[in-house]
A and B are shown apart, each in its own frame.
Chain A
């Protein structure tokens, strides 16, 4: 049985608690990085990360791109969307096609 985690600043993730997801409020960048790796080792199949946090730990997130679990998915935090999710999509397309096809 797998679980779902939500990672990000307190105000962005608090609401997910009511849905029954496990939330992990993160204060600093280093804390977020450690938490992400810890959760990835546990039985979390999906980890939602706010874009605000994700943009400072991008390399750590990319590490899980090729493994089947966990799926690290970016969601907009309370500051609104930064377009990182769309950017990830773009980079996946680029990787597959070998060129930027827009």
Chain B
């Protein structure tokens, strides 16, 4: 231990005791924080898993339809059909505080309210598969947004849990034992000094008595 560098004084002892108290309190609080974060995190992970499966299935369907569409139509036609979207999406972002971690919440609104307005082309020159592809995409879009929210939340929480976990461990295994060790060292040193002092006093007392005795004897004799 670094006990060689600390002063075995009563003041230092008091200071260390104070720090130990703070560290213990902090440790308890951080541990509670970690446990609660963990609870939220596992919930998010569960949601994320479900959403991801849904989104991947939906997108696979959309991609399959899209591949057929692009096989049936020339690339130029396809590009032309999708060139000017009728729809546009704007995203609002607010923040939610989960155990002092700020996570984003997304809300989006579309310029065109009508859900049938996703087809930016006339139906005459495009294949039906393109319609199917776009429909599949728009179906999955809600889940995609939610997935983005959940996944970002998960990443941010994971980071914070890691940080908190490290702090808890540092307090539990380094700081608090260190303080306890130092406090033990100082109090033992102080006790030792105290014992040394008592022995010295007793010795002095003996010497004083002896001297008084020796002083008396020649006077008597």
Contact with B along A21-42 (1 / 0, CB 8 A): 1000000000000000000000
* In the complex, B110 has a CB within 8 A of chain A: yes
* Number of B positions contacting A (CB below 8 A): 60
Q: Whole-angstrom distance from the CB of B80 to the nearest CB of chain A?
A: 11
Interchain CB contact under 8 A, B87 and A20: yes
In the complex, which residues of chain B have a beta carbon less than 8 angstroms from the beta carbon of A89? 45, 48-49, 52, 151, 154
Say which residue of B41, B67, B144, B148 sits within 8 Å of A11 (CB atoms). B67
**B113 interface hit (Cβ, 8 Å):** no
**How far apart sit A11 and B71, CA to CA, in the bound complex (Å)?**
11
Q: Mark A54-81, 1 if CB is under 8 A from B, else 0.
A: 0000000000011011010101111011
Partner of B159, one of A2, A11, A66, A88: A66
Cβ-defined contact, B38 with A96, below 8 A: yes
B159 with A65: CB separation less than 8 A: yes
Within 8 A of B (CB), among A1-23: 1-4, 11-12, 14-21
Q: Return B13 CB to nearest CB of chain A, in Å.
A: 36
Cβ-defined partner of B89 (8 Å) among A15, A21, A85: A21
Among the 9-residue stretches B90-98, B196-204, B207-215, the one with 4 or more Cβ atoms under 8 Å from chain A is B90-98
Residues of A within 8 A of B70 (CB): 11
Q: Inside 8 A of B83's CB, which chain A residues have their CB?
A: 17
**Which chain B residue shows the least CB distance to A83?**
B56
CA distance A8 to B41 in the complex (A): 30
| 8 Å CB contact of B106 from A20, A46, A95 | A46
| Residues on B facing A (Cβ under 8 Å) | 38, 41, 45, 48-49, 52, 55-56, 59-60, 62-63, 66-67, 70, 78-79, 82-83, 85-93, 95, 102-104, 106, 108, 110-111, 118-120, 133-134, 137-138, 141, 144-145, 147-149, 151-152, 154-159, 161-162, 165
| Contacts A/B (CB < 8 Å), 20 sampled | A2-B92, A19-B138, A19-B141, A20-B88, A46-B91, A65-B159, A66-B155, A68-B104, A69-B93, A71-B148, A71-B152, A76-B60, A76-B63, A80-B60, A81-B60, A85-B52, A93-B158, A96-B161, A96-B165, A97-B161
Residues of A near any B CB (own CB < 8 A):
1-4, 11-12, 14-21, 45-46, 48, 65-66, 68-69, 71, 73, 75-78, 80-81, 85-86, 88-89, 92-93, 95-98
